[in-house]
Structure formats: C-alpha cells, structure tokens
Amino acid sequence: MEIRAFLDFLNIAEKLKCNTRHSYTSSGRHESVAEHSWRLALMAYLVKDEFPEVNIDRVIRMCLFHDMGEAVTGDIPAFEKTKQDEEVESTAVSRLLEQLPEPYYDEVGELFAEMDAQQTIEAKLYKALDKLEALIQHNEADLSTWIPLEYDLQMTYGTKECGFSEYINELRNAVREDSRRKTGME
C-alpha cells in the first residue's frame, strides 16, 4: 500500500481508540470501540480449534473491520440503533473503503458484504462472537454501570445468532449463567 494511503487510513482507524461504547471495563471506564474489536478478534482466534472447517483468518479480519464505520459515526448501542443509523454507518463504511487502494478495497468490501449477508459459517461465527463479547464485557463491568434493560438483554441478546453452533450456544449459556450469578438471579 502506498505510504500516504496507509497513514491516512490509520488516521481514520485511530478514531476507534477515541470513540467509546456503552460498555464499561472492569476498571470502571468506558470501553473503546477499538478495545471491543481487539478482544473480538482474540475470541475468534481462541475458538479456532472448535471450528476446524472455518477460515479463522477471515473471521479475525471481520472482527477487526466490522465497526470501522464507527470511526466516523461513533458507537450507538444495539438497543438504540435504528435502521437510519445503520444506513448512515453503511454509508460511512463505503466512504472509508473508497480510500483503500486495490486489492484492499475489494477484499474489505467483500468482507462487509459477507458480514451483512450472514450466509457463511465465517460470518455467523463473527456475528455470534460480536454479541458474546458485549455480554462478557457487561459481566466484567460493575453492576452499577448497568441500565435497567440490560438485566433482560443479558438473558436474551445474541441467542438467535449463537444458535448455529452447539459450542457457541454452550458458550452463550455459560455467559448467561455468569449474568445470573452477577445479578443474583440464580
């Protein structure tokens, strides 16, 4: 990649370090979008033995790029995000991708199309892990940071997305059990 294009794209991606999510870390500060994406990619790597048929490198790339639009739009929690918000983020992604030279433009564009379609095992794994990472982060945060609707979301969020795999479903159930213990709903 040409050096100026490389540096310009990194400058935009740096905003993911600055933009915070609704979630809090275990130390009590807001989590950045970049931190979420990093741990999501780590999760994908750590489940690779459970999915020998999956192209884990592709899943990791999905995890790294999935929230790039939020470098422009900032994070909107899933429970507040509207169709219009999704369209704005999609437009932001398209504009960001236009800044990438070939072959990156096509490669990353294909990743976004695959993530949106949710037809491949790679896309389904990325999406389930994305939901699970948010739930795990909430369990690690102090209960005082939770808003009322999160008590229900910890029990329901991501259930559909995790249903494609017995292993991921078991992981979802373990996270749900951690939520029950944390909230005293055992």
Which residues does residue 32 pair with via DSSP β-bridges, in sequence order?
A: 20
pLDDT at 76: 87
With beta carbons less than 8 A apart as the criterion, state whether 168 and 102 touch: no
pTM over 0.85, yes/no: yes
pLDDT at 185: 81
| Cβ within 8 Å of residue 137, ≥6 positions away | 23, 24, 25, 31, 36, 39
Q: For residue range 129-154, what is the model confidence (pLDDT) as tens digits?
A: 999 999 999 999 999 999 999 999 99
Q: How many residues does the chain have?
A: 186
- Kindly calculate the radius of gyration of the chain based on its CA atoms and give it in whole angstroms: 17
pLDDT at 78: 86
Which segments of the chain have a pLDDT < 50? none
pLDDT at 34: 97
Q: Domains (ranges, CATH) in the chain?
A: 3-183 (1.10.3210.10)
Q: Tokens 């192209």 appear where?
A: 55
Nearest to 154 by CA among 127, 125, 185, 123: 185
